[in-house]
Amino acid sequence: MLFCLSVEDAGTWQRLIDKNTFSNWRSPSGKTDIDGAWTIRNGVLTVKPYVHRRTDLWSVEEYGDFELEWEWKATKGANSGVKYWVQNFSTLIIVKENEEWRAVSDPTQAKPEEPTLEYSRGPEYQMADDEYEPTSLKLRDSRAGGLYSLFPPSPETVKPNGKWNRSRLLVHRGRFEHWLNGVKVLEFDRAKLEARIEKVQPNYRIRKTRGPIALQYHQTQVAFRKMRIRRLD
C-alpha cells in the first residue's frame, strides 16, 4: 500500500450521507433544488432519472488529501461517479437528450420548458453496471473503479447490477488509490495523472488540489449509502 497512516495522521470520520437529510450537500450553483433530482431515505441517496432540473451534488465542505468510503449499486445499464478535486462546473441546457447540450451561465437562464443539468469537472472514480452500460462495454477506462476516461481498473471487481459495492478512495501527498470490494484496482501519482491528461485531454488541467466531493447525476439510477470521509491534511 502507498498509505501507512497512524491515528495521529488522520482526521476523524465525518458522515456525508445522513439518515434523511441533504444537510451535507448542495447544487454547484446553489440555484437548483437538489431534492428535485435526488431522494434520500433511511440513509440511501438515489438519483431520480430524467427529471427536468438535474444537478450533481457537491459536498458543502472542500477536501484536499482525504480518505473516502461508500457503498453503491447501479440499476441495469446505469452509470455515475464520485468526483474529487472538482475544478469547476457548467450549467447545460439539454437540447436533445443524450446528444446535444448548450452551456449557459446559470440555470435561471433556461426557459421553463428547457431541461437543465449542472455538471462538475474533476477526476472521477467511475461507477457503472459494466455488464450493460454502453460506454463501459466499449472502453476499459470507463469501467467501474477506474479513473473515468483516463485509467482502467485492474482487476475488475464490480458486482452485478442491483448488488451493493464497497468503494474506497485515498488521496494523499500527490498519490491516489481506488479500491473496489476490498481490492485495490488502481493507483497512480500526480505526475502520471497529468501526463495522461496531457495526452488524451490536452485542453483540461488540474489547477486546484482541493475542492468539494461531487456525486454525478447521469440520468440513470444509482444509489449511495454509508458514505464517510476523513481528512489526511
Could you tell me if residue 7 is inside a domain? no
For residue 1, the model assigns a pLDDT of: 46
Instruction: Give the SS3 label for residue 75.
Output: coil
Residue that is written with C-alpha cell 495521529 in the block: 8
Q: In the beta sheet, which residues pair with residue 26?
A: 58
What range defines the domain where residue 58 resides?
A: 20-231
Could you tell me if residue 1 is inside a domain? no
Say if residues 186 and 154 touch (Cβ distance below 8 Å). Answer: yes
Domain count, the chain: 1
Q: pLDDT 10s per residue in the chain (233 long)? A: 455 544 456 789 999 998 899 999 999 999 999 999 999 999 999 999 999 999 999 999 999 999 999 999 999 999 999 999 999 999 999 999 888 999 998 899 999 999 999 999 999 999 999 999 999 999 999 999 999 999 999 999 999 999 999 999 999 999 999 999 999 999 999 999 999 999 999 888 899 999 999 999 999 999 999 999 999 99
Could you tell me if residue 170 is inside a domain? yes
Could you tell me if residue 180 is inside a domain? yes
Residue 100's domain is classified under what CATH number? 2.60.120.560
